[in-house]
Chain A
Amino acid sequence: MADENPEITPSGPPAGHNEARRTFLKQSSVLTALALTPGPLVKAAEAEFDEKVAAAIEQVPLRLEINGKKYKLSVEPRTTLLDLLREQLHLTGTKKGCDYGQCGACTVHVDGQRVNSCLTLAVMQDGRKVTTIEGLADGDKLHPMQEAFLKHDGFQCGYCTPGQIMSAVACVREGHADSEGEIREFMSGNICRCGAYPNIVAAIQEVKNGGQKV
């Protein structure tokens, strides 16, 4: 299955049943929208919408590549990327800390850039490539940043660690790891309530100075 890299549709309620309901709701919401708005405006506007998601209020189709695997999904528009990863796809390495973009525990990479997955809707990421902490290692071989966190004891309770590591990898890739001060500034979006900061900085410096490809 993995060889051919097929699209994965996570299991859930019987597809047929769900599909029918979805289609009905989608059609009915489009019809409601049509009924409530002046004709010419709707025509002009609806023609220029991404048709897949026009007027969807219940479930929206979504394609994502996560850690190299392609997913074909259906999500409620309210679902954040974080909740999609954890609740629907059971990729629980990414943590929910504050859920308000204040702690950084939910940090993942989208198209190579680090972001807070709690403050973006999954549907907004349609077509993008997501990397989570689960996608960092190469099989059993840990990523150099994971090794460095182990070596330098860059954590105590470990809850913030997946976010710290995702952020740290980006920090080095961005070229913002040239000094302790710069690392602290560009890692400030990741809070560690155990206070492992000196060890986190040491881990990042080792990876940066080691010159390995991150």
Chain B
Amino acid sequence: MNQFQYLRPTKQQAAIEALARTPNAQFIAGGTNLLDLMKRGVLEPPRLIDINRLPLGKIERDNGRLRIGALALNGAVAEDKQVLERQPLLAQALNAGASAQLRNMATVGGNMLQRTRCSYFYDTAMPCNKREPGSGCGALEGYNRMHAIFGFSDKCIAVHPSDMSVALVALDATVLISGPKGDRRLPFADLHRLPGDTPQKDTNLEPGELITAVEIPDGPFTKNVHYLKVRERASYAFALVSVAAALSLDGNTIKDARLAMGGVAHKPWRLAEAEKSLIGKPATEATFRQAADIAMQGAKAFKHNSYKLRMAPNSIIQALKNAASVA
């Protein structure tokens, strides 16, 4: 690990200024991803700004919204009474991620900002446009079974690894941001970006900006929800494909729906057209199959991940069946 300067601000503004003053400085919160990357030499920040003393850990509800502080721990959010009551899909997604120990360390802000687990990004001996712009993409012609089937570019085919983010994008969350130019709100769907020609940029955060909270509007998705995560072992592995499904049912009729996928793109992948196709229809396998077909339009596989072209639609159908309790 490189040497770095360690700072521990107690005021938000001081943290933001400290970040803005040093190129490549990093905030550290839980550290579970950042320290992993630093130990491997993938990141070498000259300055770490420990934000754990900032008062950003609250979970509160006001004005029909659940506001979760950026420093709230993943484990605490997954067990929070209000979260379980109002947004059970988020709790399910959080519990599907990492291990109990890591969930006690990882924060909500850090979870959404975690970097891809693409092995070419992690291996400093390999080319990677995300780690070293212009060096090429090792995965494109390499071992790409974990990689994207949507929204990739010829510069990067990595996927975003967060489960929590798949639920947040489905639930129309908003990110609260504070930065050198003041505060702003950003729809969660616009936080992450597609790789295009600049895969080194994971998000649309500006330099020096700090995520302070995420807000989720109250909705009807308190009962018929399911987060399905398909992985290589029963627990504690990144998703091959995951699906966040939320339904609002009137009898057997779908009144409203939310759908998003993980493990398939550079950002959490909202399935807006598939959602629309569900509304007004009976909650049956046939309906779900049609939605899955719509969701998969435009999918394209690489040499080793064509299994995702079948796994993804099947996962959508299964997640919706589980959400609706359809056998």
The interface of chain A, by Cβ under 8 A from chain B, is: 29, 33, 37, 41, 44-50, 53-57, 60, 77-78, 80, 99-101, 104, 107, 113-116, 119-121, 123-124, 126, 167, 170-171, 174, 176, 184-190
Contacts and interface: CB of A to CB of B under 8 A. Distances in A.
B4 A124 contact: no
The 10 closest A-B pairs by CB, nearest first: A189-B99, A188-B235, A77-B6, A48-B14, A48-B11, A188-B236, A50-B8, A45-B14, A113-B104, A45-B17
Interface of B: 1, 3-11, 13-14, 17-18, 21, 28, 30-32, 35-36, 39-40, 48, 50, 52-53, 75, 98-102, 104-105, 234-236
A64 B53 CA distance: 16
Contacts of A170: 100
B35 A123 contact: no
B14 A49 contact: yes
A179 B105 CA distance: 25
Contacts of A49: 7-10, 14, 18
Given A48-B10, A49-B14, A189-B236, A55 B5 contact: yes
Task: Name which of B21, B35, B52 has the most chain A CB atoms within 10 A of its CB.
Answer: B35
B104 A120 contact: no
A189 to B, nearest CB: 2
A115 B14 contact: no
Task: Name which of A54, A176, A188 has the most chain B CB atoms within 10 A of its CB.
Answer: A188
A213 B277 CA distance: 53
Contacts of B48: 77, 121
Contact of A123 (B6, B30, B40, B102): B6
Contacts of A57: 3-6
A189 B53 contact: no
Given A184-B235, A188-B99, 18 more contacts: A29-B5, A37-B21, A41-B21, A45-B9, A45-B18, A49-B14, A56-B5, A60-B6, A77-B48, A100-B40, A101-B36, A104-B99, A114-B100, A114-B101, A116-B105, A119-B105, A120-B30, A121-B28
Nearest to B49: A49
A58 B256 CA distance: 57
9 contacts: A33-B5, A49-B10, A101-B36, A107-B101, A114-B104, A120-B30, A121-B50, A126-B8, A186-B100
A165 to B, nearest CB: 13
A116 B33 CA distance: 12
B99 A55 contact: no
A116 B36 contact: no
B36 A53 contact: no
Contact of B31 (A50, A54, A99, A121): A121
Contact of B102 (A33, A184, A186, A189): A189
A80 B105 CA distance: 14
Contacts of A185: 234-235
Contacts of B7: 49, 53-55
Contacts of A50: 8-10, 53
Contacts of A53: 6-8
Given A49-B9, A57-B3, A176-B100, A44 B14 contact: yes
A104 B101 contact: yes
Contact of A119 (B3, B11, B14, B31): B31
A78 B4 contact: yes
Contacts of A189: 98-102, 236
Contacts of A60: 6
Given A121-B31, A184-B234, A115 B5 contact: no
Contacts of A167: 100-101
Given A48-B14, A119-B31, A174 B100 contact: yes
A47 B14 CA distance: 8
A12 to B, nearest CB: 20
Contacts of B6: 53, 56-57, 60, 77, 121, 123
A113 B30 CA distance: 13
A69 B28 CA distance: 28
B111 to A, nearest CB: 14
Contacts of B52: 124
A120 B35 contact: yes
A181 B21 CA distance: 49
Contacts of A115: 101, 104-105
Contacts of B3: 57, 78
Given A99-B39, A121-B31, A123-B50, A48 B105 contact: no
Contacts of A116: 32, 101-102, 105
Nearest to A49: B9
A57 to B, nearest CB: 5
